[in-house]
């Protein structure tokens, strides 16, 4: 999607996961039923409608989009507010296992970044780095925390999404050369799993027309094989078009959402078991498409999705990964809320992979998982996604080779336009997920205390019949830095099954929580968030006597 910083017309262009993520460096046992947990062993491949890891185990990629590198800032958004390592830890703690990371060809050839506060925690490590080196740092930290990365060629220049894979001052060779550079650079980076070749082909883009200038299917074959000639391990992710597909049944599609041509005109790669198709799907909050007003809505949606793209998985042609979907409304009454819940149910029923749009809150027509403070989670959104999230991390069979320092290819020879802002094998067992039903007791504040220089506030984010999730925010209101802090609390009839941003150690009915290494220092005015989810073992489950102190 085009970052959703504006409303566009016909051309469109989770509560918490309840399983423990497994560290890629030092795996530890999970208190959750092992059937709900999976260690992903890269590289990934495909087997009919499934994405599988190196051991042949079915994998569900359940991620978010974190945009910004493809904009004029040349860096993931939100780093003016948050430590990038802290942001990644929160994302992982919510249960996602993948980030779809957009970039532009222009940004990766630039030398400057903006929009980063280098005084915030680990962000100081990014000072003086180029956009490509900032991408390196994010990818390396994601690997340390057990997060997979899908690279996304979102734009050519920094301003807009072009119709085709060339234009805006860049050639097809520029586009493919950038992919070849990235395939070389991250060839030995275990958590970089693939290439989403081009974001949302639309307008003149066609499929199956055999017109070399517009046939996206042919261009995807050229780029995909160029990547695979360098890096045989990557998945090649191919989005749809908007229109111009011979014999298409549906008159209107979202940009990138029309994959009707795949059955007659499949993408042909040198390594067919690396191909994944990826539609984008949105609701009326992005644009009120005609099908949202049909009398059969929302029961007309399933047949639309099956016709447009899911038949690919149903017929075992290839896996489907929904590269973008999202919206502000998730209630049961609004059209957007009804649409979004229907799609989440469809994803669950069909065992599809996805990347939610977006992690960022500054996507105007969809909002994000994070709220405008770049810290708080949009609980209603997270609650509808939580049943899709599983404890999936990946394991490295060996240490990764350092990232190649090969620079990007030279700037395109053509001048750029002025900046403008546009508007049949045995199927794998069904994955086991934990799908609680939150009740109206979420977001209940729990009294807490502070000691010395620090203060702690806690919030019951979700509370359902068999469990709950709580976050705690430790703030330094003083004018000096604080190091080596800990939080303590008492909890009787509950057992923690997932935690984030801290080491939770039980001592009888008491718990002592110490921060991860990157969170040990809290600067003046800064806050650190820790949290956990737990199974209820009785009625006396609520944490009490929560306090913070220095060690």
User: Which SS3 state, helix, strand or coil, does residue 337 take?
Assistant: helix
- Torsion over CA: 358, 136, 60, 502 (sign): negative
C-alpha dist (Å) from residue 225 to 254, 266, 270, 384, 454: 27, 14, 6, 38, 55
Count of beta carbons in the 10 Å neighbourhood of residue 15 = 29
- Contact (Cβ atoms closer than 8 angstroms) between residue 529 and residue 375: yes
The C-alpha atoms of residue 338 and residue 353 are separated, in whole angstroms, by: 20
Which position among 86, 141, 221, 324 bears the catalytic label?
A: 324
The C-alpha atoms of residue 147 and residue 140 are separated, in whole angstroms, by: 10
Burial pattern 356-365, b for ≥16 Cβ within 10 A else e, equals: bbbbbbbbeb
* DSSP conformation class of 438: B
The C-alpha atoms of residue 506 and residue 291 are separated, in whole angstroms, by: 53
Count of beta carbons in the 10 Å neighbourhood of residue 425 = 10
- Torsion over CA: 459, 144, 279, 57 (sign): negative
Output phi, psi for 412, to 5 deg: -65, 145
Which position among 200, 221, 336, 529 bears the catalytic label?
A: 200
The C-alpha atoms of residue 492 and residue 198 are separated, in whole angstroms, by: 52
**Cβ neighbours for 296, distance < 8 A, ≥ 6 positions apart:** none
CA angle, corner 192, sides to 67 and 268, nearest 5? 100
* DSSP conformation class of 83: -
- Token reading at 64: 């978010």
Strand 527-536 versus strand 494-500 pairing type: antiparallel
Question: Catalytic site residue 324?
Answer: yes
From the list 152, 68, 65, 149, the residue with the least C-alpha distance to 114 is 68
DSSP per residue, 139-202: HHHHHHTT-EEEEEEEESSSS---SSSSBTTB-HHHHHHHHHHHHHHTTT-TTEEEEE--S---
- Torsion over CA: 454, 460, 462, 464 (sign): positive
Terminal C-alpha separation, the chain: 47
- By annotation, the residues acting in catalysis are 200, 324
């Amino acid at each position: 999607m085009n970052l959703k910083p504006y409303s566009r017309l016909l051309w469109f262009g989770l509560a918490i996961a309840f399983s423990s993520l497994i560290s890629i460096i030092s795996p530890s046992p999970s208190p959750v039923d092992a059937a709900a947990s999976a260690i992903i062993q890269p590289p990934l491949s495909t087997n009919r409608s499934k994405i599988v890891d190196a051991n042949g185990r079915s994998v569900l990629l359940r991620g978010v989009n974190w945009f910004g590198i493809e904009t004029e800032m040349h860096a993931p958004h939100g780093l003016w507010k948050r430590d990038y390592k802290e942001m990644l830890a929160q994302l992982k703690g919510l249960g996602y296992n993948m980030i779809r990371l957009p970039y532009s060809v222009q940004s990766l050839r630039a030398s400057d970044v903006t929009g980063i506060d280098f005084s915030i925690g680990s962000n100081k490590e990014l000072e003086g780095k180029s956009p490509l080196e900032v991408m390196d740092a994010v990818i390396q930290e994601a690997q340390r925390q057990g997060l997979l990365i899908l690279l996304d060629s979102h734009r050519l220049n920094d301003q807009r999404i072009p119709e085709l894979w060339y234009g805006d001052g860049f050639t097809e060779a520029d586009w493919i050369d950038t992919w070849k550079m990235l395939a070389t650079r991250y060839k030995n980076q275990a958590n970089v799993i693939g290439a989403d070749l081009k974001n949302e082909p639309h307008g003149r883009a066609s499929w199956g027309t055999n017109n070399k200038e517009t046939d996206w299917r042919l261009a995807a074959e050229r780029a995909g094989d160029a990547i695979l000639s360098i890096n045989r391990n990557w998945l090649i992710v191919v989005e749809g078009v908007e229109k111009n597909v011979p014999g298409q049944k549906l008159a209107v599609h979202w940009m990138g959402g029309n994959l009707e041509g795949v059955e007659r005109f499949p993408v042909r790669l040198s390594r067919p078991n690396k191909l994944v198709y990826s539609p984008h799907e949105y609701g009326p909050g992005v644009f009120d498409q005609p099908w949202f007003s049909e009398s059969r809505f929302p029961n007309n949606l399933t047949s639309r999705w099956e016709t447009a793209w899911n038949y690919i998985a149903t017929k075992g042609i290839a896996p489907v990964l929904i590269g973008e979907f999202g919206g502000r409304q998730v209630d049961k009454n609004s059209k957007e809320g009804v649409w979004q819940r229907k799609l989440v149910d469809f994803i669950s029923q069909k065992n599809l992979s996805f990347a939610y749009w977006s992690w960022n809150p500054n996507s105007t027509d969809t909002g994000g998982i994070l709220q405008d403070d770049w810290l708080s989670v949009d609980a209603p959104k997270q609650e509808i996604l939580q049943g899709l999230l599983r404890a999936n991390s990946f394991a490295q069979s060996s240490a990764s080779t350092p990232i190649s320092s090969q620079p990007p290819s030279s700037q395109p020879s053509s001048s750029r336009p002025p900046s403008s802002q546009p508007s049949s094998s045995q199927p794998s067992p069904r994955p086991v997920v934990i799908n609680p039903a939150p009740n109206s007791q979420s977001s209940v504040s729990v009294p807490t205390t502070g000691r010395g220089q620090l203060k702690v506030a806690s919030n019951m984010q979700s509370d359902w019949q068999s469990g709950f999730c709580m976050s705690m925010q430790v703030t330094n209101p003083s004018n000096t830095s604080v190091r080596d802090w800990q939080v303590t609390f008492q909890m009787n009839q509950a057992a923690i099954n997932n935690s984030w941003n801290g080491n939770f150690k039980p001592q009888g009915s008491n718990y002592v929580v110490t921060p991860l290494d990157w969170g040990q220092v809290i600067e003046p005015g800064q806050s650190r968030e820790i949290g956990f989810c737990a199974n209820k073992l009785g009625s006396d489950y609520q944490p009490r006597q929560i306090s913070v102190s220095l060690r």
